Amino acid sequence: MNILMCAPKFFDVAYEINPWMHTDNPVNKQLAETQWQQLFATYKDKLGWNVSLIEPVDGLPDMVFTANGALVHGKKVVLPTFRQPDRQPETAKFEEWFKSQGYTELYNPKYDFEGEGDALFWNDILFAGFPWRSDKPSHNEIADFLGVKTIGLQLIDPRFYHLDTALTIVNDTTVAIYPKAFSEDSIKAIKSVVPNVIEATDEDAVAYGLNSASDGKRIVIPEGATNLQEKYRALGLEVFPVPISEFQKSGGGVKCLTLFL
Ligand code: ARG
């Protein structure tokens, strides 16, 4: 697995753009650094994933959440069009990084679209979330550019505002969801294509358990999501729980800190 991360050098809750963020609930910077290092080491040393890094930028506290920095498919890169002005300057930084790595097919969506945070590949289908942070019409733009089939999924709970906070791609046959975060039609759409759909409890969802990163055999998951961890073990997956408390103060977790390249 090749992934992109960004060290939390300038990470903070400096504004409020989702229900988890409260500027009066300060980040413990030291602990954030420790938690991020643990996630980084889990990927690199325990799983042997290839981790690339993008330089953090002062004044862009949410740049740690690289999942929002792009959606990558082969050599093609969809850059983010962030809804909130606070995050819009990140796009140029990610664009610069991809260009420096030799990517030439880059696309800037006309409609709001927050990268892999709202778009996850399951086999050759792209599940794409809306409406909190990405616009539904962005799905057509992206489908055209990448030449893939998308299934739009409507998110209905503002706490689960990005698709990757409510849905985990576990492996070729399995996806985990927090059902209460989706419209009924969207749950039907997921179940019509995915053979095995795991339903997470409220407890797992609030612990950000759906915000996990899997390579199909091993899964890195926020430590508080203990029911999901048991379900994954029962499926034969190797489970790597990690602490994410400081990033959850910003509405982020394991997956948000990770972009699949
Ligand atoms: N504070 C960030 C925001 O609201 C958190 C981003 C979480 N990223 C994700 N992929 N869910 O934009």
Q: What is the pLDDT of residues 187-197, one digit of tens each?
A: 999 999 999 99
Mutate to test the pocket of ligand 1, among 64, 65, 132, 248 (most ligand atoms within 8 A of CB): 65
Q: Is 179 exposed, middle or buried (0-12, 13-18, 19+ CB in 10 A)?
A: middle
Provide the pLDDT confidence category of residue 87 given band limits of 50, 70 and 90: very high
18 CA distance to ligand 1 middle (Å): 8
What pLDDT shows up at residue 5?
98
Q: Assess whether 139 carries a catalytic annotation.
A: no
What is the average pLDDT across 142-160? 98
Q: What is the C-alpha to C-alpha distance for residues 139 and 47, in angstroms, rounded to an integer?
A: 32
Three-state DSSP class for 136? coil
Q: Which of 6, 73, 139, 256 is catalytic?
A: 256
Fold of 2-260: L-arginine/glycine Amidinotransferase; Chain A (3.75.10)
Phi-psi category of residue 91: left, alpha or beta, with phi > 0 → left and psi -120 to 50 → alpha: alpha
Tell me the pLDDT band of 218, cut-offs 50, 70 and 90: very high
pLDDT of residue 157: 98
Q: Is 73 a catalytic residue?
A: no
Q: Domains of the chain: which residue ranges?
A: 2-260
pLDDT > 90 fraction of the chain, expressed in percent and rounded: 100
212 lines ligand 1 (CB under 6 A): no
Q: Whose CA is nearest to atom 8 of ligand 1?
A: 256
Q: CA torsion, points 162, 226, 216, 205, in degrees to nearest 10? A: -20
Ligand 1 lined by 164 (C-beta under 6 Å): yes
Nearest protein Cα to ligand 1, atom 7:
252
